[in-house]
Structure 1
């Protein structure tokens, strides 16, 4: 397998960069039903710095499977976490106003529910650049962030958010509890999907919590992924995909009870669950579990149309863009996130289709998109160059981006929203 030049450093040694996973990450069963094969693709978050990177770019199988025992959906190939989330990990949560506002509303609600002060402890796993914990800091609550990506962790510390640049494990959880005491609240937003060792991860959450503590966990909702054909959210960084049924089985096996659940709109549809050490379930959990049973979310039939639906959507989008190009129209794209790279690679949309990808993050500008090698430029490039159409790769932040690009739209620029069906706005 080819190896990116940045992977050739001592931390990665000579071990294989990935391995095949033939058992369920949650329950250990070997009863896996493989229902979607997206081929051999590059890492969606590994932006490239040069043409040399392009020549040496690694690719890995991307196959998705359902566990018949516990309903977890997972990838069958595991890329080593230090490869996925290395020092140059480019995602910074604070670049999105939608994410910032979502996090603040979450914290405000938690502060209203619990009496927290400097003697309390709130931990966030996968705390990134401190986008969420800074709201607790402003309220005078003691916090600790845990995140292995040195760049975002450094940014968090610069913003007065105490952060450990470490991978979260059950052993680390034990060490944190010994040194800092148990936590009142443990946040885990869009990080459980990244965990290869799910059982160790959840054990660590339980270890950190006080007897009356709460784990507030957000995950993209599997039901929304399937029903809206969000196949671009499937990439190697997302090793697991959750229904409430699968989450309930996973957490319950480690002494945590989901007592409340909320469906939230962020990232195309997510679940926010509240897990505690004492069972006290409300109707939100019982009702959604019943809904999932009714639609068969733990059965292979629920997933068997996804591959065909994704192929139809993919063909429709490619046909639209190729038709625009054949008629002489220029096309750019917006959003250099992992889902954008996943969509471009799945559709085979490269430099001959897309002139450039605009992105607001300065950490991504000047780099190249994985696989398709399209250059990433600042958002101002849309107004300056005025491509007639812009493919909205970050469709989950459509409202925010469309508002930001008012001048471009007033000048005649149009956006292509790819999901759940390609349309021009």
Structure 2
């Protein structure tokens, strides 16, 4: 029997494993663009997604400009909101011009010439186009107290010397509508922020307790929410607004309206928080936090609430315009804020008579910022919700 020849050292061994040295898997290096995305923090990813939503970005700029304008309304307004001119009662708006008889002379207005129509006893205003009156900028005019604290009289724009500047006309007392809209925006816009703060605190706390514990606690909370939601909001607002004592100061009425609006809008947010917590409380990271001894308040606040922040953002952008509308409706019906404090609803209270609106349509101008701010909040909410949604 012949013996097979032994393999030579130079020949490969007859088994399937190679004797080549081990080489680790090659790691593909990320491009700078990929590295920028994968290593970016959460807030930066949200910003990149948000800025692709053009309409939401524009709405955010509009909202920011409106809040900045009401923050310095004393400086921007040409008049104080209580300044009266009985010679120009319910006067129409004065248009801004740049050219007079073909020559550029800068921003100016034409003066009014008032006369009384004896047929209908209506004040009529004729424009005198022979005397252009240039506007003044960064000038001294009506005195004010900035945010009620710092006295001053510096204005961005002032009426001409010896003339008037009514960009949006005047009301029944001869007060400038443009200045009053700026001052009124401070009340109407801040009441929305304060109202949503009250409703958010109540909604997150009550809805969080119901969703985290469940059982009888959830059952009791749900019945309370159903009772509150079954009450008609407008009549309840009217009833709560009517019980506020007339002797209260405007500041107390302001905070009373804010609390009322906040107490009525927490139920929807509480239900959203409750449903999300019921789904998230069984997640592994929640069980791990419980086993480590974390208290329910810490688990809800630090682990569960950030998981559905997109829903909270969407709820906030819906609640703020609802609160603004609620204040406007109460003040429009005479049961909300009252003079001497001014808001968009208080200004619209003068437009209840259809005959007055037909003769003086500029009294409806406060409707314009209400519509703009509500649409802007809705569009901004859409963009923020999409940007903060972790599943997109």
TM bucket normalised to smaller:
under 0.3
TM-score, normalised relative to structure 2 = 0.24
Per residue, is there more helix in 1 or in 2?
Answer: 2
Q: Which has the higher strand share?
A: 1
Q: Larger Cα Rg: Structure 1 or Structure 2?
A: 2
Q: Relative contact order: is structure 1 or structure 2 higher (C-alpha 8 Å, sep ≥ 6)?
A: 2
**TM-score (structure 1 length as normaliser):** 0.23
